[in-house]
Chains A and B, each alone.
Chain A
Amino acid sequence: MDKTVKSGEKIKNGKTILDDFFNGILNIPDVDKKLAPEIKKMYEEGKLTSTNLSNKLTSLREEEINDKN
């Protein structure tokens, strides 16, 4: 990534940085293919809170345990 901002170029605000990050979350290597889209969805719906993420992680775990057993 280019680490400098050209003179006069407006810096990214927090929202733009977050949008950039979550748009690229599916491309982060070694991340669970089910988890990344769920986190992205929660962010896009404005529901990325500790409680919601914790509940989602629990339900994904239960789903996977039931799938395999």
Chain B
Amino acid sequence: MTKINTLSVKGFRGVKKELSLELNSKSVLLFGDSGTGKSSITDAIEWFYKDSVKHLSSEEIKGVTALRNIFIADAEKCSVEINFTDSSLDYQKSIILKKSNLEVETSNNTDAFRKYAENSKNENLILRYGDLTGFVLATKKEKLDSLSEIIGFSEILNVRGVLKKAVGDIKRSLQSRNYDDEINRRQNQIMALLKESVVSDEQYIDKINEIIEPLGLGKNVADLKDIDDLLSLFKKSDDSAVIEQRAYYSDVISKLNDLPNRLDNLLGLYDSYYKLFHNIVQNIETLKKITLDILWREGLNVLTGSIIEKKDECPLCLQEKNREELIKEIKLRLIPLIAIKDEINRLGEAKKDVQNILNEIEKITVGIQYNKCFDLEENITIKDFVKCVKDYISLVSQELSIDILKVQTVKTKDEIMFDRVKLNETSEFCRKRNEFLASQIKGNKILEVQDKIILSRQAYFDIKKLKKEKEILEKQKTSLGTIYNAFVQKQKEELEAFISSYSKEINEYYQYMHPGEKVENIEIKTIEKDDELTGITIEFKFFNKITSPPQKYLSESHLNSLEIAFFLASVKAFNKKNQFFILDDIISSFDSNHRKRLGDLLLEKFSNYQVFILTHERNWFDYMKNIVKGKADWIVSVINWNESKGTHLDETLVDLKRIIEQNLADNDKTGLGNLMRKYLEGLLKEISEEAEVNVKYRSNELNEDRMSNELLSNLKSKINKQPSKDIFEPIINKVMSSIFVVNRDSHDSSFDPSIGDCRAFWQDVVTLEKLFYCENCNKLISIKYYDNVEKKIRCKGGHLEYDWSI
């Protein structure tokens, strides 16, 4: 996981001159009054990762226009540059003005960075005050969608959908075929022929042997395969054709008996197809846009890929167009198509279901047609029937082949009813023909036996085939059901494991901020309907009573705490690439106690993360500054704004000293007086703090506003009581009497010092500093290192020491 080494922002939002945070992976606490442009830093990071800034993207604010500082010259760059602990990811993103158009340029187009940027888009990096009710107040479905998107559960739901549909299809096949009915009808046929039902090959073979015994053929059947040999023993006669025809009519009757069930299923499935079709055409305008789907998707691939050089021009119409804006626009156009494409896919599935039944019906007619008895003249009724079925199949197929984009209507199920009178007439015809043929062979024992064997064999083999089909389907149903159940179980276990861990962390962080406040056991709960996950809600114990949702009882600041707890738990759960996060002004609704607790939580539980804290709340800043003081992995700074620099960081004393000494070396006295006064003020504040110099009480922000003369005067009072006062007094007096140190108005006075005046004053300041500052340990002398025995004040290493009384 990576952290940020440096963040440099220039010409972006409120930042005019370069603002550079040299972090070296350290956390940073930034204070800035309202209007100083703190959020420019957050905006810069958001734009860096997401190509847009949420609160700056609306119908009225197009593209990157709001991001570039309006005071910078046209030729100047607006840029955000981040250098990471993993330097292969270092990246600069700029907005450049070219021919009156704003273009985005990037510095690192490696696959490594592209992959990192893509993964980072879904990570929880920024929490602003405006986001503080986002998750908690979202609907149950939005919560589920939000988590599913982050965890990647949408892929799981897709696979689950495929398995569930397969199980459902097989169940429907088993029900629609109604195997038991078809088997029973054939059993009844065997019963009528052999006077008993047959349940096994052995029983059937015994029965055959029993009925042929009186014929004295001298051959027995030992296996089903022997039946063919047995039938060949029967001499062919003119009446043999009767038996063939009886077998044919029996077969046609069986097939016709199977048909009504197929037709019923067909109508049910066709009706579903019809309803889906009409639902889709209700949304005709979106439907028409489906034709553009391929074009838009391909366009998106071109724009986001690296094939075409990145410039702000539409590759299709060659008009000038901001690239990011164009990508965003296409993505927006694709969103409404997702739902309708799903519907069209479902229509395709419904069409396939109808087609499958049509295929079964066609198979039945083929079975009737491809038999030499079909061509007999007297079978005109059967021929008519077969034609009728074929016409019917054509009619339904025609409705299925309608292109929804061209024709917006299909026939209703009432308009595609099959003529069942014809079916009954054909069935009756076959039954009568069978009876007539039976009467033709009545009394002829050999033919009667032959007839029984042929007809029963046909029925028995049908039963065996139907049983086999049913068994295989049931086996597939069981297997798929088992796989589906195991899949659902796996999904539940993983989701429960995740939710249990996620809830635990959320609860832990919330309790840390609100101990003993009667809001306990915060848990995320899944909501299921018909075995489907439909939403997520948040439950908690409120005065020992389980309740939901949080907004029912919790105040705004408690809801904000909950959202912070969610964010922090999400950082730990989901962020896999970035070990940093930004909290931008998130504590406005908190009282001082809860602000402190949040600070403690961050330092205790997120010490291995790089945390960016931006705040305009002086109290919290002071508290945080105090608790991170002395921690090597924290940097504290103040953000200001002025017309020349825009948003900028206050210089540290080290920075100021470097600038002053450079100016002196360059003989440049521009602004030097103010810089030296500022340095002296900073130095005196640090000395006063370490030496415990008492100053008059002032409230928070005024406390920071003390001038050098006041601080020097208080320091002098303290020094005057010390045994070593002679060492300090001369230089303090000298600095106090300097024209640079008079009163508060001197910052704006008309005093115009020469470079020599500046050098002399700076020399005095450095002399004063050297009395208090140890160059060996780089620390000021401090009461913290006071030697009670020797009565001395010392630096940390004991290199610098003075007699001192406290």
Contacts and interface: CB of A to CB of B under 8 A. Distances in A.
A34 B395 CA distance: 38
A65 to B, nearest CB: 6
Contacts of A31: 479, 482-483
Contacts of A30: 478-479, 482
Given A25-B486, A48-B159, A65-B468, 18 more contacts: A1-B493, A3-B497, A4-B497, A5-B501, A10-B576, A11-B502, A11-B573, A12-B494, A15-B155, A20-B490, A35-B483, A53-B166, A54-B352, A57-B476, A60-B476, A65-B469, A68-B468, A69-B465
A14 B152 contact: yes
A15 B152 contact: yes
Contacts of B170: 57
A3 B496 contact: yes
A14 B154 contact: yes
Given A3-B493, A14-B153, A20-B490, A57 B166 contact: yes
A28 B490 contact: no
Contacts of A51: 349, 352
7 contacts: A11-B498, A11-B573, A36-B479, A50-B165, A53-B163, A54-B169, A61-B476
Contact of A11 (B151, B159, B162): B151
Contacts of A11: 151, 497-498, 501-502, 573-574
A22 to B, nearest CB: 9
Interface string B547-569: 00000000000000000000000
Contact of A18 (B156, B500, B505): B156
A51 B348 CA distance: 10
Contacts of B476: 32, 35, 57, 60-61
Interface of A: 1-15, 17-18, 20-21, 25, 28-32, 35-36, 39, 43, 48-51, 53-54, 57, 60-61, 64-65, 68-69
B349 A50 contact: yes
A20 B494 CA distance: 11
Contacts of B472: 61, 64-65
Interface residues of B, number: 46
A35 B722 CA distance: 93
Contacts of B487: 21
A51 B169 CA distance: 11
B491 interface: yes
Contacts, number: 109
A48 B158 CA distance: 10
Contacts of A4: 497, 500-501
Contact of A50 (B156, B162, B480, B576): B162
B405 to A, nearest CB: 20
B572 interface: yes
Contacts of B154: 14
B468 A69 contact: yes
Contact of A17 (B156, B165, B475): B156
Interface in B210-243: none
B165 A61 contact: no
A1 to B, nearest CB: 5
A30 B486 CA distance: 11
B473 interface: yes
A17 to B, nearest CB: 5
Interface string B448-483: 000000000000000001001100110110111011
A33 B504 CA distance: 41
A31 B486 CA distance: 11
A54 B572 contact: no
Nearest to A12: B494
A68 B469 CA distance: 11
Nearest to A65: B468
Rank and list the top 6 A-B pairs by shortest CB-CB distance, nearest first: A14-B152, A5-B501, A14-B155, A32-B479, A13-B152, A11-B498
B648 to A, nearest CB: 38
A39 B479 CA distance: 11
A9 B496 CA distance: 15
Nearest to A42: B162
Contacts of B478: 30
Contacts of B491: 17
A54 B166 contact: yes
Contacts of A39: 483
Given A30-B482, A53-B166, A18 B572 contact: no
A54 B352 CA distance: 10
B792 to A, nearest CB: 47
Contacts of A18: 155-156, 159
A51 B152 CA distance: 23
B202 to A, nearest CB: 18
Contacts of A32: 475-476, 479
Contacts of B576: 10
Nearest to B153: A14
Contacts of B156: 14, 17-18
B72 to A, nearest CB: 42
Nearest to A57: B476
A23 B575 CA distance: 26
A34 B473 CA distance: 14
Interface in B336-377: 349, 352
A18 B486 CA distance: 12
Contacts of A6: 501
Contacts of A25: 483, 486
Contacts of B574: 11
Contacts of B152: 13-15
Nearest to A63: B472
Nearest to A13: B152
Nearest to B148: A14
B162 A49 contact: yes
Contacts of A10: 573, 576
Contacts of A57: 166, 169-170, 476, 480
A57 to B, nearest CB: 6
A5 to B, nearest CB: 4
B480 A35 contact: yes
Contacts of B505: 7
Given A28-B486, A61-B469, A69-B465, A35 B573 contact: no
A11 B497 CA distance: 9
